[in-house]
């Protein structure tokens, strides 16, 4: 992913709210499955890491991205933004 594409996705992510929260239990298989399904429907999602989760948000982002076959757009504080184009009928057109 180029820096121009990443900047475009960051701009889109500014207007969305986190749809998942990672808490004390950290990453569970259910979270990974839910993230995978959400990425297929929305393509761009935001997650929030709660204060009671002691894992590093950057490490969590890399792990979730690896398991869901997505890309980390960015991590700011305790917010994670992930992107993966939909397999059929992608809605987000990245700049070239």
HEC profile of 14-55: CCCCCCEEECCCCCCHHHHHHHHHHHHHHCEEEEEECCCCCC
Which fold, 3-83? Translation Initiation Factor IF3 (3.30.110)
Q: What is the pTM of this model?
A: 0.91
pLDDT for residue 35: 94
CA atoms within 13 A on the CB side of 31: 21
Domain extents in the chain: 3-83
Mean pLDDT, 10 residues at a time, the chain of 96 residues: 93 93 90 94 95 92 95 95 91 88
Q: Please list the helix, strand and coil fractions of the chain in percent, rounded to the nearest 5, in that order.
A: 40, 20, 40
Residue 81, sorted as left (phi over 0), alpha (psi -120 to 50) or beta, turns out to be beta
Q: Is the dihedral of CA 87, 88, 94, 96 positive or negative?
A: positive
């Amino acid at each position: 992913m180029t820096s121009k594409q990443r900047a475009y996705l960051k701009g889109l992510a500014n207007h969305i709210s986190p749809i998942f929260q990672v808490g004390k239990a950290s990453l569970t298989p259910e979270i990974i499955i839910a993230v995978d399904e959400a990425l297929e429907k929305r393509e761009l999602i935001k997650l929030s890491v709660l204060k009671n989760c002691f894992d590093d948000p950057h490490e969590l982002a890399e792990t979730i991205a690896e398991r869901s076959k997505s890309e980390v757009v960015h991590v700011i504080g305790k917010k994670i933004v992930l992107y993966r184009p939909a397999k059929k009928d992608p809605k987000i057109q990245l700049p070239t």
